[in-house]
Amino acid sequence: MYNNTAIYIFNRLVRLAIIFFILYLIFTNFGTFLMIIGVIFVIITFLIYNFKKKMQTNSFKFRFDSQNFQNGQNFNFNDFRNFNQSDFQGFANAPRVDEVAKAKEFFGFTHSPSKEEIKKRYKELARKYHPDINNGEDVKMKELNHYRDVLIKTVE
Give the closest residue to 100 by CA, choosing from 80, 118, 73, 75: 118
Where in the chain are the domains?
A: 4-58, 88-155
Pairwise CA distance, residues 28 & 35, whole Å? 10
Q: List, for residues 51-104, the tens digit of each pLDDT value.
A: 887 777 655 565 665 655 555 456 565 665 555 555 555 555 666 778 888 888
Indicate the length of the chain as a whole number. 156
Model confidence, pTM:
0.41
What's the CATH number for 88-155? 1.10.287
Distances (CA, A) of 38 to 28, 50, 51, 75: 15, 18, 20, 59
